[in-house]
Amino acid sequence: MCVITYFFLCKLDNINYLYYIMENELDHINLINTLKERINLLEEKVVELTGALQEKDYNLLYTKEELEKLRRMLFGSRSESFKNEGNFVHPTLGFDFGETKEVLEPKTETESEIITYQRIKATEKDKQITVNCRMPLPAHLPRIKEVIEPEGDLKGAVKIREEITEILEYKTGELYVRQIVRPVYAFPGRDEQPVVIADMPSLPIPKGIAGASLIAWILVCKFVDHLPFYRIAKIFRRDGIKISESTINDWFKSACILLVILYDRLVEVVRSQDYLQVDETTIRVLDRNKPGTTHQGYHWGYHSPMLKLICFHYEKGRGREGPENFLKNFRGTLQTDGYAGYNSFEKPGKITLLSCLAHIRRMS
């Protein structure tokens, strides 16, 4: 009996141990599943944080590019054209002038004022003119009226108003022939001046067919619209007029000769000022010695800020001889960039050099 009891107790211990092992295995499985879920959550979090970090990196890169662009606008080589706009305040432009408290700190006390204005109410005529029109067209333009009556029988109808729509159209410039008629009169029996005729009016090109208005239009096309002569010749051909490029070039040169007196007067006025700004720029020039090729020339610009006048003087090179000859009688202040060729212009009692503020700002 004791043996049987002992054997039964041993079996019971084995069963309890087996249950214990199974419970531990279940705990391990649950732990593994919990760890897998946490790993999945962590992976999702890593993906989310990686995306957010990439977005921040992009924003940082964009901010750096905008900052670099702003620096170029303020201190770059083309910063002269930059104008302060909006609420951006840059009172010192990188310079340290000491205390700038009054400039940088906003005023605590502000004054207010009442602004009144008078609005002019549009008349019925103005309302009619601007029907279906995005912007009012200038009043100085000629109007060609086109009346479109409604279809059908209008007998007994009373017109109560007009709907006016203005459309901007273009009419190609017209060439016309100016005929100068000079009647010739004879005085029978008179020995002194038996035949009389009026004198010819002054023409830009004597014995030429080009009038002043046509030559002025060619100059505008050349210098303002930058049209070469072969394109101007094509414009003439579209109107049925064949004018060669060489003829247009001759007209152009004749006009330039006529304008020399105006250029000389412009140079005289600019030279007489006591404050000038000078700069030079390159220009490609056709080489007569080598047809089909060009060489690099220089246009020197002399600007009078007070009169808002500027004249250009051409030189083959960038040497100081050109501006020295142009400014040989100049007295006053000369503002230039950092080109070393201008250093020789500093002459006590005659010329005072003033550096370009934009170039100084770049170097700061």
Q: What strands lie across the sheet with 275-286, from one edge to the other?
A: 309-315, 294-304, 275-286, 332-336, 351-355
Tokens of 97: 């002038």
Tokens of 41: 């959550």
Q: How confident is the model at residue 191 (pLDDT cuts 50, 70, 90)?
A: confident
Band (pLDDT 50/70/90 cuts) for residue 300 is very high
Residue 355 · residue 338 · CB < 8 Å: yes
Which residue, 281, 270, 283, is CA-closest to 334? 270
- Look at the chain and count its residues: 364
Angle of helix 245-258 relative to helix 229-238, nearest 10 degrees, comes to 120
Question: Among 7-11, 149-153, 349-353, which is the least confidently predicted range?
Answer: 7-11
| C-alpha to C-alpha distance for 294 and 288, rounded to whole angstroms | 9
337 has pLDDT over 60? yes
Strands (DSSP E) found in the chain: 184-186, 195-197, 275-286, 294-304, 309-315, 332-336, 351-355
- If one compares 108 and 339, the residue with the highest pLDDT of the two is 339
- State the average pLDDT over residues 254-275: 94
The pLDDT-based confidence of 346 (bands split at 50, 70, 90) is: confident
| pLDDT at 118 (0 to 100) | 67
> What pLDDT does 68 receive?
85
Q: What is the 3-state secondary structure (H, E, C) of 235-295?
A: HHHHCCCCCCHHHHHHHHHHHHHHCHHHHHHHHHHHHCCCEEEEEEEEEEEECCCCCCCEE
Task: List alpha helices for 76-123, DSSP H.
Answer: 101-104
What was the pLDDT predicted at 131? 45
Residue position matching structure tokens 């004879």? 186
pLDDT at 104: 44
**Torsion sign across C-alpha atoms 8, 14, 15, 17:** positive
Instruction: Note the pTM of the prediction, 2 decimals.
Output: 0.56
Radius of gyration of the chain (CA): 44
Is the CB of residue 197 less than 8 Å from the CB of residue 185? yes
Separation of alpha carbons 242 and 232, rounded Å: 11
Q: Read off the tokens for 62.
A: 């964009």
Q: Name the phi and psi angles at 199, rounded to 5.
A: -70, 150
Q: Are 71 and 58 in contact (CB under 8 A)?
A: no
Q: Determine contact, residues 232/219, Cβ cutoff 8 Å.
A: no
The pLDDT, as a whole number, for residue 8 is 56
Considering only CA atoms, which of 263, 165, 251 is closest in space to residue 208?
251
**Which one has a higher pLDDT value, 170 or 131?**
170
pLDDT of residue 301: 93
101 — pLDDT class (breaks 50, 70, 90):
very low
Q: Is the pLDDT of residue 172 over 60?
A: yes
Question: Would you place residue 349 in the very low, low, confident or very high pLDDT band (cuts 50, 70, 90)?
Answer: confident
339 vs 116, residue with greater confidence: 339
Per-residue pLDDT at 221 exceeds 70: yes
Structure tokens that stand for 244 in this block: 């060669």
Do 295 and 318 contact (CB within 8 A), yes or no? Answer: no
State the average pLDDT over residues 315-342: 86
Confidence band for 168, pLDDT divided at 50, 70 and 90: confident
pLDDT interval class at 70 (50, 70, 90) = confident
* Tens of pLDDT, residues 112-153: 667 665 666 656 555 554 444 467 888 888 888 989 888 888
> What average pLDDT does the chain have?
80
pLDDT at 90 over 70: no
b/e burial code for range 194-212 (CB count within 10 A of at least 16 → b): eeeeeeeeeebbeeeebee
Give the whole-number percent of the chain exceeding pLDDT 70: 76
Tokens representing 280 are 């030079």
Q: What is the largest distance, in Å, between two alpha-carbon atoms of the chain?
A: 185
Which range, 110-114, 153-157, 186-190, 254-258, has the best average confidence (pLDDT)? 254-258
Confidence of residue 308 (pLDDT cuts 50, 70, 90): very high
Q: Is the pLDDT of residue 64 over 70?
A: yes
| Residue that has been written with the tokens 């906003």 in this structure | 106
Q: Which of 218, 207, 299, 310 is nearest to 256 (CA)?
A: 218
How confident is the model over 4-11, as a mean pLDDT? 58
- Least confident residue range of 15-24, 60-69, 162-171, 246-255: 15-24
Enter the DSSP assignment of 347: B
For 254-281, what is the mean pLDDT?
Answer: 93
User: Percent of the chain at pLDDT above 90?
Assistant: 26
DSSP state of 87: T
Closest of 186, 212, 209 to residue 197, by C-alpha = 186
Band (pLDDT 50/70/90 cuts) for residue 58 is confident
Q: What is the mean pLDDT of residues 200-216?
A: 90
Count other Cβ atoms within 10 Å, centred on residue 132. Answer: 9
Residues whose CB falls within 8 Å of the CB of residue 300, separated by 6 or more in sequence, listed in order: 278, 279, 280, 312, 313, 314, 315, 322, 323, 326
